[in-house]
Structure 1
Amino acid sequence: MKNIKTSILIVMLVLVHALANAQFKEGESFIDGAFQVNLFDSKAKDTDSQYRLYGHNIDVSLGKFRSGTKAVGWSLSNNLAIQKVKSLTFEPKPLQNLGFSISRFWEFYKPLNDKFSLYARPRIGLGYNLANTFDNANGNITTETRLNSISLVANIGAGIAWRIAPKWAIYGGVAFSNPLDVSYSFGRRRDVANPRPDGQYPQNNLRGFSYRFAPDLSSGSIGLGFRYFY
């Protein structure tokens, strides 16, 4: 009887192991992403002042499983913000913010059963961002700043994946870390409140380099997303 029980236990363990490794298959390709739009419109009742803002954030990831427990891929993102300010005597540039980034990611899985797996996702990326900002006083722009930034970022995410259907899975991120962030910025700041006699504005060139190495871990919030397999 003891040998029979042992044999049954071994068979069950083998079956569980087989199911746990069947959640993802070598050669499966996938796509996921997110799209967010921000719209804002404000108009004062007693004045002719008005402020409008349009913004979006787009993230798309493409990848492929190299084995049942490892996937690799690329992520592309774009952010845009366009503004319209009517009350200021010096109208600021419509383009408030524009950014692009590309990153390479790797995913490592630990199957729990045929539906759920824990995963870790290290990623390294390169990005560019353009920001136009201004300061104003009494409805007049005093300074106008244009800043370009190039950044190199490394981060690690972790969470749980739920294969809800052959073509779909839900991913829940529960931990995140940004151990490395290096950026170089350059641009100019113009003093538009005090033009020179020739009509030109005094300006200062801006340059800066920042480096952040902080392997801290954040948790407590959950981010959910869908992934499509093809």
Structure 2
Amino acid sequence: MLERLRRTEFDEEERSRRRFVRRQWARRWLQLRVVVIVVVLLVAAVVGGWLVYFSSALSVKGVDVEGTSLLSEQRVVDAADVPAEPLARADVAAIRERVESLPEVKSADVSREWPDRILVKVEERVAVAVVERGGTWRGIDSTGFSFRSYRSLPTNLPLIKIDDDTEDEAVTEGANVVASLPPAIARKVEHVELRTIDQISLVLRDGRRILWGSAERSDDKSAVIAQLIKRKARIYDVSVPNQPTTR
């Protein structure tokens, strides 16, 4: 009986020892597995970083251009001057600055297109009027910026008459006025006369004249002239938009 009791106690101790050993191995395996996972992740991060930032596998292979009309895509690509380096290292801000240095470009947006291309979206300037400089017809945008040439005077854009003494500020004011006009009226403007920045006049193709004054409150003046032009007159004065007159 005593022998049987001792054997039972021994078996119980052996089972306890085995359970302890299994728990220890389970704990060690868990720790080892964590270490293995961390090592694998580190290796993957290193390899991934090398592939992305240093390997030629993800180098820039080309440039896609959107939004061009005046410009050829090749001019934009040439201006972008994107080096054949890993896409992740491409300096998109510097690329944008180079593209925006083109006179025809108002703004540009540059982004990465994985795995190996650069996308350049261009917003071109829009001519609202023409000026003559040095015997050349130059298109200007709403800010007065001169960005393109014409072989002859366009028939769909008004001419802003300037001379050697005309200040750039006056040209800018004239461009602002034209840009604020309703399209139906803008198409009828033959030329803009700039005596001073406060004495701007619009001459329509049928000879009628609009006295605009300065470029201040141009939106209000545009709304007034859109209605006033319906009256039969030779001169429309909207220099004071709250008190327009005709004669």
Q: Select the structure that is richer in helix.
A: 2
Structure showing greater Rg: 2
Say whether the fold is shared (TM-score over 0.5). no
Q: Select the structure that is richer in strand.
A: 1
TM-score by length of 2: 0.29
Higher RCO by CA contacts (8 Å cutoff, separation 6 or greater) = 1
TM-score by length of 1: 0.31
